[in-house]
Structure 1
Amino acid sequence: MKKFFNNLRFRSKIIWLFGIMFFFTTAISGLSYYRYASNDIEENFKVGAEDVLAQIVDTLGLRLGVINQRAKGMLTNYTFVVTFSDYLNNPNDINLVKALGTIPDFMRDFETGEGLIHSTYIYTDKGSFDNYVRMRNWEFDFKESVFYKSYQESGGGAIRWFPVWKDEIFQDNDQVIPCVWQFSVQGYVGMEYLVIQLKKTELERLLEGKYEFFDKILILDETGNIMTGSPDMDQAELMKLSEAREEGSNVITSDYQYEGDSYLVTYERLKENGWQIYGLKSRQSLLGSLNILRNTIFEIMGVIFLIGVTVILLLSHQMTDSLRRLEKRMSCVEKGDLGVRFFYPYKDEVGSLAKSFNYMIGEIQSLVRKQGETIEELKRERDYVAEVQKQKRKAELNALQAQINPHFLYNTLNAITWQAADQGAEEISILSNSLGKFFRIGLSKGAEVISLGEELEHVTSYLEIQSIRYHSRFSYEIHVNDRCLDFRMIKLVLQPLAENSIYHGIKEKQGAGIIRISVSEEGAGKETVAELAVWDNGAGIPEEKLAFINETLKKGGTDCEAGYGIYNVNERIRLFYGKDYGLHYESSFGHWTKAVLRIPAMPGEVE
């Protein structure tokens, strides 16, 4: 896309840039206003939604509160209680007749004047009662109902609300909302139950007037069962939204999706029975009045865009016409015509370009004349450089011929060894012999991988030289199983560790020291690991410095101040064998230090 834009002609770029600028300026302004208007409508809805839902809660709370008070009044009425007590404690025919006359009257009075009550029913272990208004379903067994089982399975709560069900107590099969009161009568051992069933249709009628404000209203009980409203709504999602709402606000500003539309949700809770009331308003219906505004904005954007494009076309033609003529002159120069010139009467940017163009053509003509002279000079310079390179190669050959042959060094050290032995200079003989072995194994004919035996021979030569130098300051021991001597490994890794033991351990401590080199194996088969340890009883390493060294070695870093040798050894091992292998230190400050190398145990040849 960038390449395409850069390849456009200047006039096209102006049209595109100004067109995009006009479009986005208009679009951003219009959409910002649209956004402001929609936010304002939503804020007004939130305020009104809370008020309307609060009115619903107040109305339902008042109606349910009245029912609650009337139920308490009936159950505590002296005549009601005495009649009930006489019957339950002495259920003879006389008391039964009194109960069948008095209790239904109280139940009819309880239902009178409250349209929300559908029916009432009282159950006792001595019989059940109703108000004789509705036809009883005599097959209904209270002890087998969900009401009785609820009290038996869990204690607590004398008053319990249940989900909507089809009335099984009476034969009309209406949709009702049951509320069960558990109560007792003084002087009688046992529990009685009052079932108050509310009309679902009456509850829906109370909400009808609120649908002018809300699109949908949903009432759930405490466990999430739908009491009234659309049964196909995801009530679990609504309950999650109410739990996650901002504290102090009953408007849930998240987008609840239902039937392909986005809804604003308002929430309230009924204290009397824990019902959850949700009011839902579709964003599409809420913001529908803004569709005309949105279409008007699009029309204005189109008109402004067309006007802008027309103005831009006129301006771009005026601005780019002189550039187009300059481009034609440049095309002539490309074809080799250096006699063309571009004349422009004004002193704007194009005039500066015209002046630069004419000056450039003049300079090109001057340079072409000098080109012939420069070619001859370059030929002479080329011949001179070729001669210098020839002399340089001869000097390099002479320098290579002057290098010392390593075999000459070995032969010379061997001659010194034999001469010193003949003359009884044993230390000189040992030194020269050890130095010869040291250089021989160090060079190894250019090989990078040697046997463990050769590596131990190399470090032994170094320790022999140092033991003669320091006399009785230290001694050394090497412990290795013979079958490990054929292990293949990269060379020159033990000598830097032995050198560290001398210079940073034994040399820093009073008295004689000792260096022990040992080799051990871990694992089996191809996963066998060889551990090469260099131990000394020197000054040891402080705890903080030891931790720093091991951390640096683990990361594969280098710390020149702490010594380059051990980090070089560690990095060579990690590069050759992998990051699972390498070097680490163990130490007791003032007592001992141990350097441990972990490498794979590889017998035979190694690529």
Structure 2
Amino acid sequence: MKKLMNSFNQWRFDKKIQLLVSTSIVLTTFLVLIVSTTSTVRFMKVQSTELLQAQNNTIAENFRNSLDNYKKLAIAVVLDTSIQQFLKSDSGNTASYIDNKNNANNTLSSIVNMHSDLNFIAVVDDQSGEYLYKGEQTIYNSNFIQTYSKDYESCKPANSSTMRVSFNNAYYDGNKYSLNVYFPIYDTGNLMGELGLLCMNFTDPSLQQIAENNNSSNLNTVVIDLDGDLLATNEKDKIGSKTNYISNIFEESGHFRKNGMIYFFQKINKWDFYIVSSVSAMYLYHGSITAILFMCTITILMVITNMYIIKKIIQKLYKPLENVVSKMDSVASGSLKTRIDSERMGDDFTKLAEGFNSMMDKIQELMEQVKLEQHQMEQIRFNALQSQIQPHFLYNTLDCIHWQAMADGNTEISTLVKALAKYYRICLSEGHDIISLKQELEHVENYLIIQNMRYDNIIDNKLDIDQNVLDSMIPKLTLQPLVENSIYHGIKVREGKTGTIYIKVQQLSKNIVITLADTGTGMSEEKVAELNSQLSLHDDSFGYGVRNVNKRIQLLYGDNYGLHYYKNTSGGVTVKISFPYRTKDMNTAIRGELDYV
């Protein structure tokens, strides 16, 4: 997974966008496909189920009508006067018996002629064993005499009445399946007295359709009784056997699923039979599967087309960005003059191109500024090194030592020599440009000793030092040029007068502020303002003076630090030097930066 993420992160932006958009399209499309497919399958299933249930109900209704008609016919025959008289008359060759028999035969002949689906009808006298028979087939062809009694005994009642039915090939030597209806004939004058048995054999259209499975919906329909015994089915060898799903039928109508088949059942109203139709679940879903395959094919084609279109659109949209990336590669290789032609890039990318060009212009400007600052820093360093050993200062000092030695002896010479030695020792500082504030103050004190011996002690100094900040680091030769300015431009020009230099060191928050004031001749407010405005300017021809001190501090610590001049109340000039408080240990991380100046 990590490797895949790393590989993905290395892809170009357009490929990432293309992948994300394509993934979104695919996921969204297939989510819609799943939802629509599920809805379609469910709808088609419901439709198919309702259609097949309705078809099953139609078969049940047709069979119910047939049974109702058979029952009505049976009742009509039983109540017929000729049939009643025939069964009540004594058998023999009497004229009365023969007339009753002929009348009954005529009645049966009329019934056969009126019902085309009636194969034969017979009335059996229980007392004499005689019978009447009428039908398309002769009594011998139908095997009625040998069959009716046994078949009647094997039948179950069709409902709460005494009517019994069966569907088999008991008649016609087993060559024909037909519906057999049996109805006991009772004396209309004495309902408890059974006179005989009515036997009717029908070619029922509903049962014939079931037996031949002659339907177009792949339904396999059967008729079962309440006990689950098969009354009619196209698998004729199973007639009379028990089904394995009767326990699933506990309502008047409905459907259930079992062993990959869907069963639809409908009870025949007022009769003890169910019409049960079954169909393979796969057949039921056949239309849905076809629809799903069609929808999947269309969806895949749409996804492929959309992905192709998205790819082209992203490539078109990414073209300006690719141009920007190419230009950035050129910049990375060192070509800082690279610029982007912003024409025909669109509003957004035009702003990007303009921003890029502006950035490159700024970079070039900053690089020129860095070069200038590096040159200034090198010049300052050179001036610093040059100022550390100024020949005229060395010669004047040695001259002073010489005359003083001649005039006063070795005490002051010793003092002067020691001060001079310390002065140059701190000037050199083993090549370091950043020294402690304690060393810088010591350097100024030595410088004042030398100058006082040179100018007959005209310089007084007063120090107010916070001892807790003496370990703070400061650029070397920060104070000495400022003290020198106070002497030469403030105190020394006042002939015959002494002056005082005040040095105060304090810590304000995280900064060090050094206040250096003199009692010299001072400057006007205009001069002070002009001096402050020119402090940040640099001039290669200008020596190691006030402006270079200010420039060094700002290069090291930023424009918020440096020098600022004021006109003080004593008539002289005050300068405040500010820089951050940093000890030697704190400077470890930036030592290279500090040592550079």
TM-score when scaled to structure 2?
0.43
TM-score, normalised by the number of residues in structure 1? 0.42
Bigger Rg, structure 1 or 2 = 2
